[in-house]
Amino acid sequence: MLILFLLFAVLPIAEIMLLIQVSDNIGGWNTFFIVVFSAFIGAFFVKREGLNTLRQVQQKSAKGELPGKEISEGLLLLVAGVLLVTPGFITDIVGLLFTLPFTRGPIAAFLVKQFVAHQAKGGARAQFHFYQQDSYKGGAQSGQKEHENGDIIDAEYQDKTPNDEKDRLQ
């Protein structure tokens, strides 16, 4: 909750204060052009690094490896793109840190470690309830089963029941 407060209340105020301070020192138009220029440069870097990350994901996937590191870095690049396009110097600095490969890797590793530790403590539990019901919709081999809550689960399966038992059940 504190993080959200800092993100949505304190950060914009700090950005505005810094923009005013910089514009007092170098002028309003110069500040404006620096902010717009940083957005263009940031978009260029995010696009370039994003394509490199996508290429790495494709290479690892082709080898049959799980591209976990690359996916987490790709998410950081997505956040970096938003931060770099957002007007302000603080967001530009954080976005640049998320964009550069030599800082993005350690940040991604730290965030993944924090996420795993949070999951181990039971932070975001997903509970799945499957209700048993005898009736199938759409025929015996359709693979769809309607549950009490109206959800339909679609699955492929192979019936391995022996033939003599199948005849007895029908």
Q: Tens digits of per-residue pLDDT, 94-137?
A: 998 998 889 988 988 888 888 888 777 765 444 444 444 444 44
pLDDT band for position 31 (cuts 50, 70, 90): very high
pLDDT band for position 13 (cuts 50, 70, 90): very high
Radius of gyration for the alpha carbons in the chain, expressed in angstroms and rounded:
26
Phi, psi of 159, rounded to the nearest 5 degrees: -80, 115
Task: Say yes or no: 87 and 58 in one domain.
Answer: yes
pLDDT at 22 over 90: yes
Task: Say yes or no: 43 and 108 in one domain.
Answer: yes
pLDDT band for position 9 (cuts 50, 70, 90): confident
pLDDT at 146 over 60: no
80, 100, 120: which is the final residue of a domain? 120
pLDDT band for position 148 (cuts 50, 70, 90): low
Give the chain's domain count. Answer: 2
Structure tokens at 147: 């549950």
Q: CB atoms < 10 A from the CB of 56, how many?
A: 16
On average, the pLDDT of the chain sits at: 78
The residue-averaged pLDDT of 12-32 equals: 93
Q: What's the confidence (pLDDT) of residue 142?
A: 47
Q: What's the confidence (pLDDT) of residue 149?
A: 63
Q: What is the per-residue pLDDT across 47-81, written as a single tens digit (0 to 9) for each?
A: 888 888 888 888 888 888 888 888 888 889 889 98
79, 99, 120: which is the final residue of a domain? 120
Q: What's the confidence (pLDDT) of residue 2?
A: 81
What is the crossing angle of helices 28-63 and 68-85, to 10°? 160
Domain assignment present for residue 1? The answer is no
Q: What's the confidence (pLDDT) of residue 137?
A: 43
Task: Say yes or no: 144 and 113 in one domain.
Answer: no
Domain assignment present for residue 3? The answer is no
Q: What range defines the domain where residue 47 resides?
A: 8-120
